[in-house]
Amino acid sequence: MAAALCCGLLDYKTEKFALTRNRRVGLLHRLLQLAVLGYLLGWVLVVRRGYQDTDAAPHVSVITKMKGVSVTRSKDASSRLWDAVDYASPPQGENVLFLVTNFIATAKQAQGTCPESPSVLDGMCTEDVDCPVGNPVVHGNGIKTGKCVMFNATHSTCEIYGWCPVENNTLPRKPLLAEAENFTLFIKNTVNFTKFNFSKGNTLQTNDPTYFKSCTYDPFFNPSCPVFRIGDVVEAAGETFGDLALLGGSISIRIEWNCDLDQPTARCQPQYSFILVDRRYNFRTASYYWDSQRRPYRSLMKLYGIRFDISVHGQATVVCDLVLLYLDTKADFYWKEKFEEAKPPKGKTEAAADPQWADQDIRNAQ
Amino acid sequence: MAAALCCGLLDYKTEKFALTRNRRVGLLHRLLQLAVLGYLLGWVLVVRRGYQDTDAAPHVSVITKMKGVSVTRSKDASSRLWDAVDYASPPQGENVLFLVTNFIATAKQAQGTCPESPSVLDGMCTEDVDCPVGNPVVHGNGIKTGKCVMFNATHSTCEIYGWCPVENNTLPRKPLLAEAENFTLFIKNTVNFTKFNFSKGNTLQTNDPTYFKSCTYDPFFNPSCPVFRIGDVVEAAGETFGDLALLGGSISIRIEWNCDLDQPTARCQPQYSFILVDRRYNFRTASYYWDSQRRPYRSLMKLYGIRFDISVHGQATVVCDLVLLYLDTKADFYWKEKFEEAKPPKGKTEAAADPQWADQDIRNAQ
Amino acid sequence: MAAALCCGLLDYKTEKFALTRNRRVGLLHRLLQLAVLGYLLGWVLVVRRGYQDTDAAPHVSVITKMKGVSVTRSKDASSRLWDAVDYASPPQGENVLFLVTNFIATAKQAQGTCPESPSVLDGMCTEDVDCPVGNPVVHGNGIKTGKCVMFNATHSTCEIYGWCPVENNTLPRKPLLAEAENFTLFIKNTVNFTKFNFSKGNTLQTNDPTYFKSCTYDPFFNPSCPVFRIGDVVEAAGETFGDLALLGGSISIRIEWNCDLDQPTARCQPQYSFILVDRRYNFRTASYYWDSQRRPYRSLMKLYGIRFDISVHGQATVVCDLVLLYLDTKADFYWKEKFEEAKPPKGKTEAAADPQWADQDIRNAQ
């Protein structure tokens, strides 16, 4: 039995073939093989780019800057000018930035006791027992002192210990910085595909120093000017500036890089898209100061405005040389094609037609 | 020879077959083929989802807001109320935000000369020669003036030119903002899978305006409420608030989106996880002001507290139609299955059994 | 016909074989099969790591802190000391941070009227008609009042309403914070590969509390010290600190993690690279205050300096067990190898040599 096995193990089997010297059939046979070869070259290489390598995780840097001035008039008709330092934050110009379009100012807050705002549900009261001493007002501005006091002729609210007076939450009916529509946002974006050691920016390479001071982005006429008019951005996001400016909002600015590095790099250009994320956006900030008696004060601002989130994605592709191919997940495509080409013309000694071989070729190829 | 080659080139070889009209063997043969077909349909399509397309790089936007008030009492028993404006920074509510839980305040610093803090090694001295004039104190607060002076009864340190007096680095033994445990953090997160033009937020779509004011996140009972109690977050990260609040810490909040867009979108829900990154976190900040003589002053704060890093990852998958398939890297799975189905019932003229064809089929499939 | 089809359907065809009991040929045949098996084991598994699973989207946290002090001397020879609180922003220490190296201070701005700066093209005028009232000065500092006034002996500009006086844009010829070259930047970076539940930081695990106070990063001698000297970073980016400090600049710090989790985790170390993104960088910020008559003032600073963008990428790989393999996109490699091994020694009943089977095996393998 063992002998049989060993013999069986070392037997070699080959198929018997019938050979037909029929040019027509033979021609057809070769044409079929050409079709396969064509398929591989055409489909695999040209359409599916099986020979390319990809880097989909670029290192990204975004720098932003706003420009423009606007005048606001407060109730007492006193006017105030706002420049970028006043309305843009944070000042560094990062990939998330904010433009003030409306605000509620509470000028001179000091720590003390005062009636809670009637806009806070938990602050309403009819008698002192409604204001348990020491409890914070839920979603309110301070700690209850235990007294229920008159806020105004119509409302009475719990007295609180906190920053007094509390914010008066009546928002101007029209955005105070309506002119912000004409402000401009400069976005400088650089992507670096480390895998291919390839870097590119979104700013036009120009020698004209005044170019970026005069141009404005337009998807068709001026796609490589990185200066965006705020009004245009809001419209591109499907909103009207006036509506968004009143209560604020959040807009996502997306920059997509899809670069075929086999093409001239001038073809490697970013695509911008503008999406409205949210219809309301505001936050509070304060500047602190001390009077001559060293008493601490703060000037509270509730800022409504447009928040811009800039996010960058991209991928770059490049031709692989043979070395790359061995490490490239798409190597198999190349291999197949290679194998087809390398196939010797078939003759009587049809080694390559043996299924074993065929399998091996295919396995090599994966 | 050339003739031989040409002839060899155009010969057509076919195998000789023995045909056995044996239903049992034949049936077995077909069953085996069905098994393969079943494997392809079941395994490749159902389990490995070879027919799906994936987008793993969503555009993400995160907006945060903290709420709550707390009272602190300083050594001189004067109390001070902290609201979100005071303890949260930066005010814009980005994906990295900070909550003050403890602090060292140095009230009225002015530029001048004073003894360096004894906590700085390089600041200690016994005589003037230990304080070479003009040298900065390594990891210290100023430039040495060349004098060695008494800091207090027990220590003498180099006199420095800098912001004076230097910070007194004795931290309160218990966190000053212990109530911060009950503050809430609102996280509004939107993901957009541009490849499929699909957008979703983590906030419940509700018409109840008070919902987000009343609910609190709970992984089981309230997973779609994006309002997180700080104490719960710290516990979920495996810490107790009291410990972390004293010296501060850093917590990473991770939001994972894994959406099968073939399912109802209601199934596409984020998963939150909370990981403790670091057990100490603090930084210094100052507000600057000028007295009546226009002398510059600053009020320095060393802030200890909890820093939240919110990071979002996700992927979406969707069924591909035939067009997609051609561009889909998983197309081969579909192709195989297709090929199996398309196979004609085998008869005497066994074209499909010729290894050449087999190869082609497999190549088509890649 | 139907009968013929049915019969054809259930026929079983097998090939006729010529059996050669030739040990030499048989041995060669087996050797070829071994070669294939060797290829699969060696190439697919060892070189292409077909058995590994990858996580290329780690959750990342970055915390930064600057240290160092420097003295600046203004025109009136009054000296001022800068510490990290003064020159670093934002204070929280995020992945984008800024170091002041030069600045233009405009001390006491109040809202009012004054001549526009002659550096603004649109602000120049020869008579009042050049200054249409109510128009903002393009890229300027305010709204035109309609008057054309003398700015100085040589220039006359439009009078504007805005923050007055306007910024004097003469930058010191040498950076005011030249010593910033010796400041240090501490970067604490943690990556978490959630797929493998693996976390690692860039800071050396040490029990020596003074280590991070004394060490400085060096790619060769001290690669695991996360304290970077600013001057070294600038040089690594191919710039000299002096040049960059004058007008500012932007440097991208990239941290790459490539971890084979089959290796000891000590081998999993980050790679740092420093790239110069931009040769100019500045922004304006202001601190606001009020005088005794409650008039608002601001102290404007135009800050030039170095902006650091820290970005982190990484991937981790790990051996798959069989369960993983079924979900692993590289499973096919394993399958092939498996199939080869499982192949029974070939004997007279050569099922596996039937092309149908061969195809199936290959299909199983995908």
Q: Are A340 and A130 in contact (CB under 8 A)?
A: no
Q: Answer whether B273 sits within 8 Å of C194, measured CB to CB.
A: yes
pLDDT at residue C9, as a whole number: 55
C-alpha distance from residue A199 to each of A164, A193, B111 (Å): 54, 6, 45
Average pLDDT of the segment spanning A230-258: 93
Q: Burial code of A216-244, b = ≥16 C-beta within 10 A, e = fewer? A: ebeeeeeeebbbbbbbbbbebbebebeeb
d(CA A158, CA A190): 54
Q: Are A231 and A182 in contact (CB under 8 A)?
A: yes
Please say whether the beta carbons of A349 and B11 come within 8 A: no
Flag whether pLDDT at A358 surpasses 80: no
Query: How does pLDDT run across C88-139, given as a tens digit for each residue?
Result: 988 888 899 999 999 999 988 999 999 999 988 889 999 999 999 989 988 8
pLDDT confidence tier of residue C20, bands split at 50, 70 and 90: low
C355 close to B353: Cβ distance less than 8 angstroms: yes
Which residues of chain A lie closer than 8 angstroms to C133, CB-CB? Answer: none
Contact partners, residue A35, CB within 8 Å, separation at least 6: none
- Low-confidence winner among B96-105, B230-239, C222-231, C322-331 (lowest mean pLDDT): C322-331
Q: Report the chain A residue with the minimal C-alpha distance to residue B90.
A: A90
Looking at the complex, report in whole angstroms how far the Cα of residue B208 sits from the nearest Cα belonging to chain C: 34
Around Cβ B337, how many Cβ atoms within 10 Å?
Answer: 21
C232 in Cβ contact with C288 (< 8 Å): no
Residues of B whose CB is below 8 A from C13 = 17-20, 346, 350, 353
Q: Which of B22, B290, B300 minimises the CB distance to C12?
A: B22
- pLDDT, position B351: 35
3-state secondary structure of B59: strand
Q: Does the distance separating the beta carbons of A139 and B81 come in below 8 Å?
A: no
Tell me phi and psi for residue B261, to 5 degrees: -70, -5
ipTM of the complex: 0.72
Looking at residues C277-296, what average pLDDT do you find?
86
> Which uninterrupted H or E stretch holds B12?
strand B12-15
Task: Determine if the peptide bond prior to B90 is cis (ω within 30°).
Answer: yes
3-state secondary structure at position A317 = strand
Chain C residues within 8 A of A16 when measuring between CB atoms: 15-18
pLDDT at C31: 79
For residues B240-269, average pLDDT: 90
Residues in chain C: 366
Measure the CA–CA gap between A131 and A142, rounded to whole angstroms.
12
- Binning pLDDT at 50, 70 and 90, where does residue C320 land? low
Q: Is C302 annotated as a binding residue?
A: yes
Can you tell me the mean pLDDT for A289-318? Answer: 88
Residue that wins the pLDDT comparison between C300 and B28: C300
B350 and B17 Cβ atoms separated by less than 8 Å: yes
Minimum distance, in Å, between the CA of residue A279 and any CA atom of chain C: 28
Instruction: Compute the mean pLDDT over every residue in chain A, rounded to the nearest whole number.
Output: 78
Residue C116 vs residue C350, higher pLDDT: C116
- As a whole number of angstroms, the distance between CA C171 and CA A197 comes to 36
Look at C68 and B136 and tell me if their CB atoms are within 8 Å.
yes
Tens of pLDDT, residue by residue over B298-311, are: 989 999 999 999 99
CATH 2.60.490.10 in chain C is located at 59-108+170-317
Cβ of C313 and A355 within 8 Å? no
Q: What's the confidence (pLDDT) of residue B211?
A: 79
The pLDDT of residue A114 is 93
Burial degree of A364 (CB within 10 A; 0-12, 13-18, 19+): middle
Q: What is the mean pLDDT of residues A173-180?
A: 88
For every residue of C185-219, DSSP letters joined together read EEEEEEEEEGGGTEEEESS---S-TTHHHH---BT
pLDDT of A246 higher than 50: yes
pLDDT in the model for residue B38:
63
Average pLDDT estimate for B313-322: 72
Higher pLDDT, A361 or B51: B51
* E strand intervals along chain A: 12-15, 17-20, 52-55, 59-67, 70-73, 79-82, 88-89, 96-115, 142-150, 156-164, 184-193, 198-201, 227-229, 249-260, 270-278, 282-290, 296-319
pTM for this structure? 0.76
Comparing C238 with B3, the larger pLDDT belongs to C238
| Start-end of H helices in chain B | 2-10, 23-39, 84-87, 211-214, 230-236, 241-247, 322-327, 331-342, 355-365
- pLDDT at site C58: 87
Give A80 to chain C, closest Cα distance, Å. Answer: 7
> How far is it, in rounded angstroms, from Cα A346 to Cα B11?
8
Residue B141 assigned ligand-binding role: no
Which tokens is B349 given?
Answer: 């003229």
Q: pLDDT band at B207, cuts 50/70/90? A: confident
CA distance A346 to chain B (A): 6
Examine the pLDDT at C260 and tell me if it is beyond 90: no
- Among A37-46, A259-268, B72-81, B172-181, the range scoring the smallest mean pLDDT is A37-46
Query: Nearest-CA neighbor of B81 among A145, A157, C294?
Result: A145
pLDDT digits (tens, 9 = 90+) for A137-166: 888 899 999 999 999 889 899 999 999 999
Can you give the pLDDT at residue C51? Answer: 52
- The pLDDT of B118-136, averaged and rounded, is 91
Question: Is A59-108+170-317 in CATH node 2.40.50.100?
Answer: no
pLDDT given at position B294: 79
Q: Band of the pLDDT at C37, cuts 50, 70, 90? A: low
